[in-house]
Amino acid sequence: MKNLMLATTALALVGTAGMAETSRDAVLKTYSDIAHAKYEDSLTTAQTLAAAVDALLAAPSAEALQTAKEAWLAARVPYQQTEVFRFGNAIVDDWEGKVNAWPLDEGLIDYVDASYGGPTDENEAAVLNVVANASFTLGGVEVDASAITPALLEETLQEADGVEANVATGYHAIEFLLWGQDLNGTEAGAGNRPWTDYAMGDDCTNGNCDRRGEYLKAATDLLITDLEFIVAQWADDGAARAELTADADVGVSAILTGMGSLSYGETAGERMRLGVMLNDPEEEHSCFADNTHNDHFYNGVGIQSVYLGSYTRTDGSIVEGPSLSDLVAETDASLDMEMQQKLSAAVLALGRIKTAAESGFTYDMMLARGNAAGEALIMGGVNGLVDQTRSIERVVAALGTEIEIEGSDSLDNPEAVFE
Amino acid sequence: MRLAAAFIFLATPLAAQDVDGAVNEHILPGYSALAEETTLLADAACAAEDLKPAFSSAFDAWVRVSHLRFGPSEADDRAFALAFWPDPRGSTPKTLAALISDADPVVEDAAAFGTVSVAGRGFYALEFLLFDPQFAEQSSSPYLCTLTQAITRDIAANAAAIEAGWQNHAALMTAPGNDAYRTEEEAIRQLFTALATGLEFTSQARLGRPMGTFERPRPNRAEARRSDRSLRHVVLSLEATRALAGHIATRDDALDALFEKAISQAEALDDPVFANVATPQGRIRVEALQSSVEEIRRYLGGTVAPRLGIEAGFNALDGD
């Protein structure tokens, strides 16, 4: 539904006094500084990943693949904390599909197990396998894929044929190329791609190791350029910062839109509850790497950090300043306490999932049909996020900002309907 | 000139909100009808000719409350278990096929069946069993009969649980000052969010999914197309949201006229499963209907919400 969602135009805002006006600007500055720092950390950790990928391709080995996987996992820590900037900031929302689109029909990219099935009603390209095919027809068009480049991924393959599950770029495409399919169902274990999938000559397994390496390299390079773009948007003179701070009341409403939409519709709903209800490990956010517990946990931490106006960087330094929490406390101290308490409770509940997963009860095991303990753990996180959304709505009401009913192409841009 | 206009606006009796009416005349009767119809469905014999009429009436009753996604419908994932759609990954046919090929004994026990994926339960799963050739052709098999009855009984149990839950929830909503609704404003906001979200779902999922894009229409994505119910759901849902709107903004003739317009357009469509979205002519008419639904949403956001002094809360469609 991404294409239909836009949440930019805010409605009229109720009056605010001069004192509060000043502090809203300061809150927006803290928020923008935190956004910049989080994306910068996402970029530097992705650069470490890119270096590890280069090393893997230069001298393939089990150790080199493991190093690249560890770099990917580390890169997810700051990135997941940025997701709270998505909804509410149009520049971020329009961009994020390039780096974090999910879920994907991974058969588009590389070989998959026979149990995966073939093309579907929804997606004719579900098993296209670009790594194995230097040319193919896609949506009725002949494609020359003899060279796998960032441009091929971005312009031809990403969302090919208008299907969102055709994810050719970003963290999850790279995740698939590093881990491979997780064929363990709701049993323990992540994807187990052999390092020899990147070996040269006769050592190469599953064919086309050179093209697979080319794909991995192209996807990683693209991730770097995409992250460079978004870091620039939040710099002192960046467009996302300018858009957010143009009107302080609209800006505050954008912060709350991001917090509420990520809490409720996205993380609690689409990513967590749906997986439990379907008992389907393919609904895991990081289903190849089995890193889903961290995805959710760092979403929660990111939401909390935006409210408290404090972010702990990957080098341990702290970016902080006047916060939304301060602003709410001036208006309604007990509501601020409630909000802080709900955010802490959600992070704690998401932390329980992480704790269990890291001690061997992995996220896909929690999803198994009839696994009551797993369901209770995940639903604890869902309920924490849903509960905090109620308080976010109360904050919206208390600050006198208005969250617009999110528009759609046909609402905000009538011409688009006829395109 | 401007002052005069503002004065006239203020002097006109303002449309008011009526939480009691929404609960007692819309929500409670709606869920009570669902409980009744689904009991009849669960009591129907296995034969398709007995089941299909009961399926149709019960599904109608569901669509009439399908916008009321809060409180008891969300507890224990009841609404999801009643109605899992859209299903972009084809989870419903996959789940059903797996149950059948394993002859999974989970269908023999109601409590155990409640642990099955929501994709294998509810109205959309039942529709597959009754109308999709892949399943309908084996309808004489004893396992299929047991599975069908497990689904219909699960549907009835969930509908009964929602109805029971509403006995308590109605009190919370109509007498705010509790943790669910601290103020009347929170109750109104909840109703308003349900109304706005229901219309958004009709516009973007029920109409938008089959429309796809101009170059790539997707008629196979139409809701409940196997039972020819796609357009019917749009009409039923518009009628139901119109009724709710009448309680949120009483005596708002402009709002009611917008609903009237959209419903007439839908009724005039003569395209029960939106198959015509594949032709330019047919597509334009569905687009016009979608624009009318969007017009209602725009009016709600731009006129009704500010008048009530509220804003819609977050909803399940907020993600991507």
The residue with tokens 């009961």 is B54
For residue A310, what are the β-bridge partners? A320
Residue B122 shares a structural domain with residue B73: yes
| Burial environment of residue A225 by CB neighbours within 10 A (0 to 12, 13 to 18, 19 or more) | exposed
Nearest to A278 among B91, B196, B215 (CB): B91
What confidence category does residue A73 fall into, taking pLDDT thresholds of 50, 70 and 90?
Answer: very high
Boundary-marking domain end, from B174, B198, B232:
B174
Q: What is the ipTM of this complex?
A: 0.85
Do B165 and B232 have their domain in common? no
Rounded mean pLDDT of B21-25? 97
The 10s digit of each residue's pLDDT in A397-412 is 999 865 543 333 322 3
**Considering only CB atoms, which chain A residues are within 8 Å of B80?**
273, 277
Best of B200, B221, B299, B314 to substitute, by most chain A Cβ atoms within 10 angstroms, is B314
Q: How far is CA A124 from CA A105, A163, B320, in A?
A: 10, 9, 22
Q: Is residue B320 part of a domain?
A: no
**Rounded CA gap, A211 and A215, in Å?**
6
- Calculate helix-pair angle for A372-399, A248-261, nearest 10 degrees: 170
Q: What is the pLDDT of residue A404?
A: 45
Do residues B92 and B170 share a domain? yes
- Residue at which a domain ends, from B153, B174, B195: B174
Mean of pLDDT values over A18-41: 86
Which of A4, A397, A418 is the closest to B204 by Cβ? A4
Residue B318 in any domain: the answer is no
Q: DSSP label at A233?
A: H
Whether A386 shows a pLDDT value over 60: the answer reads yes
> Is A21 a residue whose pLDDT tops 60?
no
Q: What is the sign, positive or negative, of the torsion defined by CA atoms of A398, A401, A407, A411?
A: positive
B10 and B87 fall within a common domain = no
Same domain, yes or no, for B166 and B134?
yes
User: What is the per-residue pLDDT for A401?
Assistant: 67
A231 CB-near residues (< 8 Å, 6+ apart): A36, A39, A40, A43
In chain A, whose CA is at the least distance from the CA of B318? Answer: A265
pLDDT beyond 80 at A79 = yes
Which residues, 6 or more positions from B182, have their beta carbon under 8 angstroms from its beta carbon? A394, B176
* Cis peptide bond N-terminal to A103, omega within 30: yes
Is the separation of the CB atoms in B259 and B242 below 8 Å? Answer: yes
Inter-chain contact A411–B297, Cβ cutoff 8 Å?
Answer: yes
Indicate if B272 and B149 belong to the same structural domain. no
CA distances, B61 to each of B21, B31, B93, B196, B232 (Å) = 19, 8, 24, 20, 12
Shortest alpha-carbon distance between residue B212 and chain A (Å): 9
For residue B136, pLDDT beyond 50: yes
Q: Is residue B41 in some structural domain?
A: yes
The answer to whether residue A22 scores a pLDDT higher than 60 is no
Residue B319 domain-assigned?
no
Question: Is pLDDT of B14 > 60?
Answer: no
Rg over CA atoms, chain A? 22
pLDDT at B292 over 50: yes
Domain assignment present for B72: yes
Q: Tell me the nearest-neighbour CA distance from B315 into chain A, angstroms.
A: 6
Q: What is the pTM of this model?
A: 0.88
Please indicate whether residue B320 or residue B236 has the higher confidence score (pLDDT): B236
pLDDT digits (tens, 9 = 90+) for B106-118: 999 999 999 999 9
Whether residue A63 is predicted with pLDDT greater than 50 in this model: the reply is: yes
Instruction: Report yes or no: A49 and A72 within 8 Å, Cβ to Cβ.
Output: yes
* A190-238 pLDDT, tens digit each: 999 999 999 999 999 999 999 999 999 999 999 999 999 999 999 999 9
Q: State whether B162 and B54 are in the same domain.
A: yes
Nearest-CA neighbor of B26 among B124, B173, B152? B173
DSSP collapsed to 3 states, A335-366:
HHHHHHHHHHHHHHHHHHHHHHHHCCCCHHHH
Q: Tell me, yes or no, if B89 comes closer than 8 A to chain A by beta carbon.
A: yes
Of the candidates A230, A177, A206, which has an alpha carbon nearest to the alpha carbon of residue A53? A177
A28-67 burial: b if 16+ Cβ within 10 Å, else e: bbbbbbbbbbbbbbbbbbbbbbbebbbbbbeebeeebbeb
Total domain count, chain B? 2
Same domain, B31 and B106: yes
| Partner residues linked to A135 by β-bridges | A144
Q: Let me know: does A195 contact A62? Beta carbons within 8 Å.
A: yes
Residue B307 lies in a domain: yes
Name the closest residue on chain B to residue A372, using Cα atoms: B115
Contact residues on chain B for A414, CB-CB shorter than 8 A? 291
Q: What CA–CA distance (Å, rounded) separates A40 from B286? A: 45
Q: What is the mean pLDDT of residues A363-372?
A: 95
- Identify the residue with better confidence: B319 or A251: A251
Mean pLDDT of B113-139: 93
* pLDDT at residue A279, rounded to an integer: 93
pLDDT tens, residue by residue, B29-74: 999 999 999 999 999 988 888 899 999 999 999 999 999 999 999 9
Please tell me if residue B174 touches chain A, with a CB cutoff of 8 Å: no
| pLDDT at A89 > cutoff 80 | yes
**Residue B290 placed within a domain:** yes
Last residue of a domain, one of B174, B197, B227: B174
Q: Are residues B151 and B11 in the same domain?
A: no
- Please check whether residue A327 is in contact with residue A253, taking contact to mean a CB–CB distance below 8 angstroms: no
Question: pLDDT above 70 covers what percent of chain A?
Answer: 90
- Among the partner-chain residues B220, B291, B318, the one whose CB lies closest to the CB of A261 is B318
B31 and B152 belong to one structural domain:
yes
Strand partners, A144: A135
Q: Domain of B208?
A: 2-19+183-313
Instruction: Give the residue with greater pLDDT, B204 vs A7.
Output: B204
Chain A residues near residue B115 by CB distance under 8 angstroms: 369-370
How many angstroms away from the CA of A326 is the closest CA of chain B? 23
pLDDT attached to residue A123 = 87
**Residues B167 and B252 occupy one common structural domain:** no
What is the CATH classification number for the domain harbouring B263? Answer: 1.20.120.660
Do B155 and B88 share a structural domain?
yes
B319 vs A contacts (CB less than 8 Å): 1, 87, 261-262, 264-267, 269-271
Q: How far, in Å, CA of B261 to CA of A218, rounded?
A: 52
Please name the residues between 285 and 314 in chain B that touch chain A, using a CB distance below 8 Å: 287, 290-291, 294, 297-298, 300-302, 305-306, 310-314
The helix (run of H) or strand (run of E) holding residue A48 is helix A18-58
In this prediction, residues B244-263 reach a mean pLDDT of 96
Put simply, the answer to whether A265 touches B290 (Cβ < 8 Å) is no
Dihedral sign of CA atoms B32, B34, B37, B40 in order? negative
User: Domain holding B89: CATH number?
Assistant: 1.20.1420.20
Q: What is the pLDDT of residues A289-338, one digit of tens each?
A: 999 999 999 999 999 999 999 999 999 999 999 999 999 999 999 999 99
Contact across the interface for A403 and B316, Cβ inside 8 Å: no
Average pLDDT value for residue range A239-255: 95
* B interface test, pick of A277, A295, A383 with most B CB neighbours within 10 Å: A277
Q: Which ranges of chain B does DSSP label H, i.e. alpha helix?
A: 2-11, 19-21, 28-43, 48-65, 78-82, 91-102, 110-113, 122-131, 133-136, 142-174, 184-201, 208-211, 230-248, 253-267, 280-299, 305-308
